[in-house]
Structure 1
Amino acid sequence: MQEHTFPTYFLSHGGGPWPFMKDQFGGRYDVLEASLQDIPRQIGARPKAVLVVTAHWEGPQFLVSASPRPGMIYDYSGFPPHTYQIQYPAPGAPELAAQVKQLLDAAGHPARLDHERGFDHGTFSALFPIYPQADVPLVQLSLKHGYDPLTHIEVGRALASLRRQGVLILGSGLSYHNLRQFGQAGAVASHQFDAWLRQTMALPPEQRLAQLLAWDQAPGARQAHPQEDHLLPLMVALGAAEQEAAHVAYHEEDFFGALAVTSFRFGATGGN
């Protein structure tokens, strides 16, 4: 039995295939990249697999990627030609995928295995700085239509035992995701919502949960998330470490010149 208990993370994963566009972006992503590169040190051990809850995949039920050799999904447009040739050849983990399905089925949230799904950019762009050798097996978990926050928290609860079995759970989204108001146009809403989110994460677990379940009442909430797909991975990551403290793992006040964005870690470092 793996005694090391991994923390969980909600990652604000940045835009598009940014780790593969440093010449174009300059230093815009340096702070985010450094925060991701520090995760192996923070968690204190090498995971046997990573489970990524991705904002870029959803279905009428929860879907779990089960291919042993996942391909690539270039789910973006308008980027340079080389970004449509990116490879992140991490292996899949079909046995973990089956276990995830079993845990969700048992918790009353039936899941389906998808044997074709490849890695979307919310997965490979976040994972490349963490494990650049692409040598840690990856499984992706979708969101569920309807975006019910409690459902996604309950899914996190159902997956919590994986943390003691060598699995690192990452929710990959973005704490501000309004592509129509990116940059200066979103400054006020992003700062309002980000301040609320960081204050909420610092509350005791019961209060934190109550606040999150009513997230759309927060200042700037619907401006920050007209559609909450990029916020829901946070619910799963928190649900899997519900009684543990949240720590800011990454924060910027001037992302794309104006936006406030944050990533969180739930649980202690070093497996404590």
Structure 2
Amino acid sequence: MTQHTTLPRLPVYFISHGGGPWPWMRAETGGAYDKLAAALADMPRQVGRTPQAILMISAHWEEDVFTVQGSAQPGMVYDYGGFPEHTYHVHYRSAGSPALAQRVLDLLGAAGLPAGLDASRGYDHGMFSPMRAIYPEAQVPVVQLSLKRGLEPAAHLALGRALAPLRDEDVLIIGSGLTYHNLRAFGPQARAPSKLFDDWLLQTVVQAPPPARTQGLLDWAAAPAARLCHPREEHLIPLMVAVGAAEAEPASRVYHEDAFMGGPAVSNFRLG
């Protein structure tokens, strides 16, 4: 990767990526995703320039060690079920970046974090659904980076710290998950617990000083309604990576809905 020392440091995002291949389902979903789509589409304006590349940490990829996508032209992983047939033929045509993949491996190696390369891994919907809204022309190369099995918050905060230099190299880091992910309780019954947890996230990520933010995320499972909102935390853990990459910097909430799809409160955050 080419280093751009004269450019301002890029922010970092944690985004709620929605359900399945929603950008290709407007006929089925109506306007249910309009607010999320608008928030994602506004990110290029917020960033202020087109980055050289994007590093995406998606909730939908876990490996035994942090693993980076190495293909120059990744394919598609249709990692969902029960959606219309046409959604199993959608394509998001961004290029990969073997150079960025190697840079990520170098940074993780320097930080003492074991890492691997997967030359055949394609894009999953935690990447291609939000990216269709952020950069519909797919003009920015995107590389995915896996979570590490076990989903320890400390390991993923450390991952973010290791990746932080990319922000000075014109690489936009995006953690892609959901602030609420209990698919067995996604309707109106999600409103009360998700509001408790979403209020805690706002207080912890945006309002608390950085050391308290880090400690709060390490202890996230003690937050109000935490396990009701995340019976399994893979959709929350990308937030840890985002915070680690901007650990001492202020955060803002850049998207929020009280009743997403008629159910939970959900939010997106920007750091730096």
Q: What interval of TM-score do these two structures reach, taking the shorter chain for normalisation?
A: over 0.9
Note the residue ranges of structure 2 that are not aligned, 5 or more in a row.
none
Question: Which runs of structure 2 are paired with 1:27-176 in the superposition (5 Å)?
Answer: 27-176=31-180
Distance, in Å, in 2 between the alignment partners of 1:6 and 1:31 is: 24
Question: Which runs of structure 2 are paired with 1:253-272 in the superposition (5 Å)?
Answer: 253-267=258-272
1:181 to 185, 189, 202: 185
Distance, in Å, in 1 between the alignment partners of 2:271 and 2:125 is: 23
Shift of 1:46: 0.7
| Root mean square deviation of aligned Cα | 0.7
**Deviation per residue, 1:105-138 (Å, 9 max, x gap):** 1111111010000000010001011111111101
Distance, in Å, in 1 between the alignment partners of 2:199 and 2:187 is: 17
Distance, in Å, in 1 between the alignment partners of 2:160 and 2:251 is: 15
Identity of aligned residues (%): 55
**Deviation per residue, 1:250-270 (Å, 9 max, x gap):** 100011213100000001xxx
Q: What is the match of residue 202 of structure 2?
A: 198
Note the residue ranges of structure 1 that are not aligned, 5 or more in a row.
268-272
Q: Which amino acid aligns with 1:96?
A: L
Distance, in Å, in 2 between the alignment partners of 1:170 and 1:200 is: 19
2:266 aligned with 1:228, yes or no? Answer: no
**Deviation per residue, 1:43-63 (Å, 9 max, x gap):** 011100000001000011001
- TM-score, normalization by structure 2: 0.97
Q: What is the match of residue 21 of structure 1?
A: 25
Q: Which amino acid aligns with 1:140?
A: Q
**Deviation per residue, 1:58-93 (Å, 9 max, x gap):** 011001000001000000001001100101011000
- TM-score, normalization by structure 1: 0.97
Q: Which amino acid aligns with 1:83?
A: T
Distance, in Å, in 2 between the alignment partners of 1:5 and 1:264 is: 17
Q: What is the match of residue 253 of structure 2?
A: 248
Distance, in Å, in 2 between the alignment partners of 1:258 and 1:33 is: 17
Q: Which amino acid aligns with 2:251?
A: A
Tell me the SS of whatever aligns to 1:180. Answer: coil
Tell me the SS of whatever aligns to 1:24. Answer: helix
2:217 to 196, 202, 212: 212
2:243 aligned with 1:238, yes or no? Answer: yes
